[in-house]
Structure 1
Amino acid sequence: MARIPLPEPADMGPRHRAQYERFPSHLTRTLTVMDPRLSEALPETANALRASALAPAWREGAILRVAALTGSAYERLQHLDQARRHWSDEQVAAIETTAGGDRSALPIGFARLLDLVDLLVPGLPVPDDVLAAVRRTLDDRELVTLIVLVGHYLTVARLTTVLDVDLDPVPDPWTREH
């Protein structure tokens, strides 16, 4: 049970209710505690990130890495099926192994991307060599998108872990915008 009371859909105002109907989840219920302008910003960012030029496999792999580094079971539940569309079980295990794991099953460019994610999540400085390695794979637009993606899903992870948001019964199929 969440550490704060979450609004019931029947008690939501029209904007929040519409938001909930687009993505009926415990995360959406959590977001609707805020002003609608703020609560709508997170799903709009997620929609934009999904539509970005960053490869879906790399996007979902980075999200799984953020979930692993933050212990966000909620984020993992919502993105594991999406990641499995692109990554084998062995590769998912490598993505989710957070301390000195074997990354040989992963494409080298993606392994370098994980090096960057590993620094971004705890807010550590990013050495020039790590950034240079990622820039050999991602263009500037993809790099900036990746940094925003990590920040976005770090926010989701913090919301769901700090507030102990219940897992949804099933993950969203991600067939429409939220």
Structure 2
Amino acid sequence: MTPAPRLPEAADEGPSAEVLRARRGGRLSTLDRLLLHSPPVAEGWNALLGALRGGTTLPADLRELVVLRVAVLNDAAFEWAAHEPIGRRAGLVDLQLRVLRLPDARAEPVWTPVQAAVLAFTDASTRAVAVPDEVFAAVRAHLDDRQVVELVALVAGYAMVSRFLVALEVPPPDGEVAG
């Protein structure tokens, strides 16, 4: 039996539910149904996460590397389960996915230079919030201004997602969560 989250799921009807459903390809997740307790929060969340997932210029492998690493660092099983298949499609391989679960994943020689820089940034921002100058400079060597903003927002956005999921004890889905 799958454990239930700390709150009951809200009704999945109404305009806010339809906005979420449109981005998700017609299906709502447990996460969506919890967010629907506050329609303005659900709609704002949907807009932000939709932009982070589909409106950035960051390559898909970097985007999913960030999401999966934040999931590991914040112990967000839902986030990992929802994004692992997406990460695979984005080009992350079994070895990289295993290494992402290690405490010092960036020390392993399985990353491209830009992946290693993004991973170091994700670790610093998630663990300590403040990002050391040398970590920022390494990212800056690979990403343009827009991509740096997108990276910072992606790390922060998925930290928000993981904290929501963990605080409400949302159980992992049975695979990828669309959209």
Match of 2:156 in 1: 151
Q: Give the secondary structure class of the aligned counterpart of 1:7.
A: coil
Match of 1:116 in 2: 121
Match of 2:76 in 1: 72
Kept after mapping to 2: 8 A contact 1:94/1:106: no
Q: What is the root-mean-square deviation in Å for CA atoms of aligned residues?
A: 1.7
For residues 137 and 44 of structure 2, the distance between their equivalents in structure 1, rounded to whole angstroms, comes to 31
Change (3 A) 1:173 1:33: closer
- Tell whether 2:169 aligns with 1:164: yes
Per the TM alignment, residue 94 of structure 1 is displaced from its structure 2 partner at its CA by 2.1
Percent identity over paired residues: 29
Map of 1:3-14 to 2, 5 A cutoff?
Answer: 3-9=6-12, 12=13, 14=14
Residues 137-157 of structure 1: CA deviation (Å, up to 9, x unaligned): 111111111110011111110
Match of 1:17 in 2: 17
Q: Give the secondary structure class of the aligned counterpart of 1:79.
A: helix
Kept after mapping to 1: 8 A contact 2:121/2:139: yes
- Tell whether 2:134 aligns with 1:129: yes
Which consecutive residues of structure 2, in runs of 5 or more, have no partner in the other structure?
Answer: none
1:143 is matched by which residue type in structure 2? V
TM-score (normalizing by structure 1) = 0.87
The number of residue pairs the alignment matches comes to: 170
Per the TM alignment, residue 173 of structure 1 is displaced from its structure 2 partner at its CA by 4.1
* Candidates 96, 103, 123, aligned match of 1:98: 103
* Candidates 57, 79, 86, aligned match of 1:82: 86
For residues 140 and 101 of structure 1, the distance between their equivalents in structure 2, rounded to whole angstroms, comes to 23
TM-score (normalizing by structure 2) = 0.87
For residues 109 and 37 of structure 2, the distance between their equivalents in structure 1, rounded to whole angstroms, comes to 43
